[in-house]
Structure 1
């Protein structure tokens, strides 16, 4: 018998102990939370596996260099991702916009070259970066400030965009021109997440515009301190774009990090992500996993309940009101026979019963093989018997 698809709570299942649970429920606050020991254990196993694999690949290829410096090691640092699977699709447009999630341990190194795409005129933002109030260490990382008009004129071809992509490590874009820049740069920059431009507010630090002055807000330029703070925040964060699907991948660390650092980054990302970007919060989370670019996923959290809303859950299995299908069919036929006997005349009722009896008799005859499609007449059977006897030698017939 097929099991009912309706979700039903079972008190026995709730009381049954589970070995090494990945879900931890608390009495106060959020109903779910990560298990720090499980997260660090999975991070340590993943890092160990990735390092052994990388070492084996280097030894196999014979490219391991004894004079490699720290910068080369940093360039070859592999990313580590957090995979988030939800029970229902994320369909809120506000949750699908790219958003930065602060990290305790940044995944972007110090020795990076930054290119910033700005709203026109670009001279205002070049002067801002060159200002004495702008932090000198951060200024040394910014290799270029490129306005939108100059970007469109100078980098029209695919080859020129590829060349620009290879010149810098990090790209940032004014959030006011994010959609325009994305349409122009196309798959060259947005085909992968490796160097996708990070949105920043270049109006940071500027006074709030008065009501009704939307044009003034569009042309606003932030302060050196405010913009510098925005860039620093972007360098110390990871970005998430919640796709309208059930799965999302977020970069949370690198291979050079320790398991403890990875654990802290994962906890910071999960806390902010679940609270602000997933509908129904923890109840909509199906599983959380960590993985490398080419490794299998390691689970750090698994769902304990299939539903997202308590209203979808029944305390007991549903009871069918009319029984099974066979009883319902028999009840319907009995009522129809009673109606015939009450409403029809005796002559009409007799004709219907006679017709029904002939039909049943012919059905039984076909089922038994008499008079069916494969049946033959007596005359034809006797002819076949005579023909068979004639083909037998006379000596055999006489002896029988």
Structure 2
């Protein structure tokens, strides 16, 4: 995809100019560079979307319903690190608050809860303390037992996925729900259920160890649960990849460059502080991009290593190994392998070994060839020396 002029202007001429350091403090983003990149990216994406619409011969009759969300394309922040980032909690994505939420107001929410589900249904749909505006967004509440019984097949899971825009899950049953939903939901990050605390607002006395089972079945208050859901909808989530590259959704095409800039700055601050080991020293580059665009750099560093002490002036030399010990181990291995073989396989292996040796030793191959010729000649002479024919005429 060719870059637009706006994208070309946003890209810097030198990488070193993007990595700024202020009076000995940790590295910082340059707000002006972030805003330039945001303006260039949004202008390019809108221009490309308009060109695509103009080239279309026929317009979709359902464009107002189905394509409205597709036109508002997501924008991602790509983080590259110098060392691999390891995160074992893959099923519990980390929440990063955003000043400008990505999830729209008109969404259908499905909540997976701990049993009994009736307690949470009453909390959301019957309680007067639960906000009415938020209640209209919650389309379905499903307990773990009902999820396992009613949504077993692949088709029913796909249907459930298509019927809702956002999925929330009680953080106490995240693993159970993940096993029940499988790759249909967790194969991609687009609609992966977001963990929330459905015990929010309830008092839990952790000093009483005997009441552990009762504590697990605690249901939060209407106000506390509503606050948790609103916080989940106004944030973005990151599942750190066990690699040097991670992408996070930070905005959408309908945002202004200023809004996108503020979202990027908020995400970068929390992400580097809490989720990247060695923090800024481990960051190689930060970029923003659309689903099909090239990545625009907003912060790039030219160093390829984290610790200067680990950089070597010359290539490391290989340690000297004991050749005799190596041959001994190989011999023992071959002896053990021969003990495990039957007679036919053992004979075949020995023949292959002899053939291999003969190829390596030309003199031995020559001797073997001469002896065979002699044997053939002797057989022929023996047959000719017989005076009496073997078969009578």
Q: How many angstroms does 1:70 deviate by?
A: 9.5
What is the aligned length?
300
SS at match of 1:166: helix
SS at match of 1:196: coil
- Residue aligning to 2:380: none
- Residue aligning to 1:243: 241
Contiguous gaps of at least 5 residues in structure 1: 1-17, 321-400
Residues 274, 281 of structure 1: 8 Å contact kept = yes
Equivalent of residue 17 in structure 2, options 18, 21, 36:
21
Residues 147, 180 of structure 2: 8 Å contact kept = no
Q: How many angstroms does 1:68 deviate by?
A: 7.0
Residues 303/101 of structure 1: CA separation in 2 closer, same or farther (3 Å cut): same
Residues 49, 71 of structure 2: 8 Å contact kept = no
Partners of 1:171 and 1:76 in 2: how far apart?
22
SS at match of 1:93: coil
Equivalent of residue 214 in structure 1, options 212, 215, 225:
212
- Residue aligning to 1:89: 84
- Residue aligning to 2:334: none
- Residue aligning to 1:106: 101
Partners of 2:133 and 2:91 in 1: how far apart?
34
Partners of 2:58 and 2:31 in 1: how far apart?
37
Q: How many angstroms does 1:128 deviate by?
A: 0.8
TM-score, structure 1 as length reference: 0.70
Q: How many angstroms does 1:210 deviate by?
A: 2.6
Residues 96, 244 of structure 1: 8 Å contact kept = no
1:190 aligns with 2:186: yes
Residues 91, 178 of structure 2: 8 Å contact kept = no
Residues 15, 302 of structure 2: 8 Å contact kept = no
Equivalent of residue 113 in structure 2, options 114, 118, 129:
118
Identify which range, 180-189 or 129-138, moves more after superposition.
Answer: 180-189
- Residue aligning to 1:252: 250
Deviation string, structure 1 residues 30-87 (Cα, Å, up to 9, x no partner):
x101111111111111111111111111111135589976996345310001111111
Partners of 1:176 and 1:283 in 2: how far apart?
35
Deviation string, structure 1 residues 331-388 (Cα, Å, up to 9, x no partner):
xxxxxxxxxxxxxxxxxxxxxxxxxxxxxxxxxxxxxxxxxxxxxxxxxxxxxxxxxx
Identify which range, 239-248 or 95-104, moves more after superposition.
Answer: 95-104
Pairing of 1:1-400 with structure 2 (within 5 A): 21-27=17-23, 29=25, 31-63=26-58, 73-74=68-69, 76-93=71-88, 97-130=92-125, 131-211=127-207, 212=209, 213-312=211-310
**CA RMSD of superposed structures (Å):** 2.5
Q: How many angstroms does 1:304 deviate by?
A: 3.7
SS at match of 2:20: coil
Partners of 1:63 and 1:231 in 2: how far apart?
41
Runs of 4+ in 1 over 2 A off after TM superposition: 62-76, 91-97, 208-211, 304-307, 309-314
Deviation string, structure 1 residues 220-254 (Cα, Å, up to 9, x no partner):
11111111001000110000000111111100000
Q: How many angstroms does 1:124 deviate by?
A: 0.6
Identify which range, 71-80 or 55-64, moves more after superposition.
Answer: 71-80
Partners of 1:128 and 1:149 in 2: how far apart?
19
Q: How many angstroms does 1:195 deviate by?
A: 1.3
Deviation string, structure 1 residues 193-231 (Cα, Å, up to 9, x no partner):
221111111011111333213322211111111110010
TM-score, structure 2 as length reference: 0.71
Partners of 1:270 and 1:19 in 2: how far apart?
19
Partners of 2:87 and 2:108 in 1: how far apart?
35
Residues 115, 170 of structure 1: 8 Å contact kept = yes
